[in-house]
Amino acid sequence: GNSVTQMEGPVTLSEEAFLTINCTYTATGYPSLFWYVQYPGEGLQLLLKATKADDKGSNKGFEATYRKETTSFHLEKGSVQVSDSAVYFCALRQSDSGAGSYQLTFGKGTKLSVIP
């Protein structure tokens, strides 16, 4: 079955530090890949996505590249801010959609804390 593995947290960084959160996946075919972010007490917000190999998703300074050869979708940001403190989830959706499932499979989440 499908699975997503994220690096264990929590991750604590100083403001303006470089961020990498690793994400690898297991799936057949070419799934769509997503990063969602969850702020305390809130639901999930889509951060970025990529739907095919070598696509780069980007938003708010965050980037992730869909690497089919390494089945990875690592999240990066060059300079984190205190406001980036949240839990980050990597997710995939199986590519054989159409009439099929729109189910997302999530990683366990990585809690990021950015200190001033």
Partner 1 sequence: KAGVTQTPRYLIKTRGQQVTLSCSPISGHRSVSWYQQTPGQGLQFLFEYFSETQRNKGNFPGRFSGRQFSNSRSEMNVSTLELGDSALYLCASSLRGQGAETQYFGPGTRLLVL
Shortest Å distance, C-beta 16 to partner 1: 29
User: In whole angstroms, what is the distance from residue 30 CA to residue 41 CA?
Assistant: 33
Q: Is 71 in the site for partner 1 (CB under 8 A)?
A: no
Among 28, 81, 83, 101, binds partner 1 (CB under 8 A): 101
Q: Is 58 in the site for partner 1 (CB under 8 A)?
A: no
**Within a 10 A sphere around the Cβ of 97, how many other Cβ atoms?**
12
CA distances from 80 to 29, 41, 46, 56, 62 (A): 33, 21, 18, 19, 9
Among 107, 110, 112, 114, binds partner 1 (CB under 8 A): 107
Catalog residues that contact partner 1 under the rule CB under 8 A. 32, 34, 36, 42-46, 49, 51, 89, 93, 97-109
